[in-house]
Amino acid sequence: MTDLNAEISAYRDRKSTEASVARISHALQLSCGIDLAAAHAASASERVRLGVRLERLLKRERMRGLERHWSYDLNRHIALKQALDWLRPKSKGGPEARL
């Protein structure tokens, strides 16, 4: 019975991860035209370039939020932050890269 529970738990974890990746990928594609699958396959220099672009977009979105601009979207802000964390390399004290 414990094997079955372990399999159920692993399945739920895998499905949760897949849903998270799909959500980030679609939000990123819709909001700024970046394909997350292509970013995974990109070279290190291309990833750095995409990371810089995402940081700039995130900064602009933060500024919209601080200024209470009508076009600010919390969901876009969250999607940009998650995508940036996804692409960012593993660093000391920072979020782990899942690549």
Structure confidence by residue, pLDDT tens digits, 69-85 = 998 988 888 888 888 88
Predicted confidence pLDDT, tens digits, the chain (99 residues): 788 899 999 999 999 888 888 887 887 787 778 887 787 778 888 888 888 988 999 999 999 999 999 989 888 888 888 888 887 765 544 444 444
> Does 53 fall in a domain?
yes
Tell the burial category of 21 from Cβ atoms under 10 Å away from its Cβ (0-12, 13-18, 19+).
middle
> Does 18 fall in a domain?
yes
> Does 99 fall in a domain?
no
In degrees, rounded to 5, the angle at the alpha carbon of residue 77 between the alpha carbons of residues 74 and 81 is 140
* pTM over the 0.75 mark: no
Domain of residue 37, residue span: 2-87
Domain count, the chain: 1
pLDDT single digits (tens) 47-56: 888 889 889 9
